[in-house]
Amino acid sequence: MQSPSHLQRNPIGRNMAGELIVFRERIQPVSDPMPNEWRPQRAATPPVVAMPGWATALRRGLAMRCPACGEASAFAGYLTVQPVCPHCDAPLGRVPCDDAPPYITLLIALHFIIITMVLADYDGGMNWITSMLIFVPLTIVLLLAMLRPIKGALLAIMLKINMLRPLPPSAKPAAIVHG
């Protein structure tokens, strides 16, 4: 199949020297690039643990409890997530909620702090030293108070949508060999 003559030597403009820029490539017709139906590459994995509804899971996460059962604490320390829930064996340690909670906490807390700073210094009479002495400790306290509940909420969201790290190779169940 030969391309139409207007595509073979159709000038599309001039360069800085005033010479014609010519389009010389052939355009090949493409078969339908969009599939008629979408087929997933793999089967959906069943949830590892039975989860309640969204509102219940988020409420339990914000309360820093296990999102699946709500009975045990989801944290072993201030920010350390327990490997498994001691009450329902939910795999809390496999949920990858490491980096997002600080960013989301900063996003929320700094909006409150900035609005408070603007309202406190409305007339422009606050000294910068006074402002620093008030708002730096306030920011630190607010961030530390919000970080753990936000991490619990993200833990609940990721566990609800079954977003888990894969098991390490040593922890996978061995295949049964029939001989």
Q: Is residue 45 part of a domain?
A: no
- Cβ–Cβ < 8 Å for 124, 51: no
Q: Quick one: 116 exposed, middle or buried, by C-beta within 10 A (0-12, 13-18, 19+)?
A: middle
Q: Is residue 13 part of a domain?
A: no
Report the interhelical angle of 128-160 vs 54-62 (nearest 10°).
140
Q: Which residue has the tokens 């977003």?
A: 163
Q: Is residue 148 part of a domain?
A: yes
Q: Is residue 155 part of a domain?
A: yes
Opening angle at CA 28, ends 25 and 31, nearest 5: 155
Name residue 105's amino acid.
T
Whole domain around residue 103: which residue ranges?
Answer: 54-163
Opening angle at CA 43, ends 41 and 47, nearest 5: 135
For the cut 90, the answer to whether the pLDDT of residue 38 exceeds it is: no
Q: Is residue 39 part of a domain?
A: no
pLDDT 10s digits, 110-160: 999 999 999 998 888 888 899 999 999 999 999 999 999 999 999 999 999
For the cut 60, the answer to whether the pLDDT of residue 179 exceeds it is: no
If pLDDT is split at 50, 70 and 90, which confidence band does 49 have? confident
Q: Is residue 174 part of a domain?
A: no
Q: What is the pLDDT of residue 166?
A: 85
The tally of domains found in the chain comes to 1
Q: Is residue 15 part of a domain?
A: no
For the cut 80, the answer to whether the pLDDT of residue 16 exceeds it is: no
What average pLDDT does the chain have?
83
If we measure between CA atoms, which residue out of 145, 159, 149, 146 comes closest to residue 73?
A: 149
Q: pTM for the whole thing?
A: 0.69
Q: Is residue 136 part of a domain?
A: yes
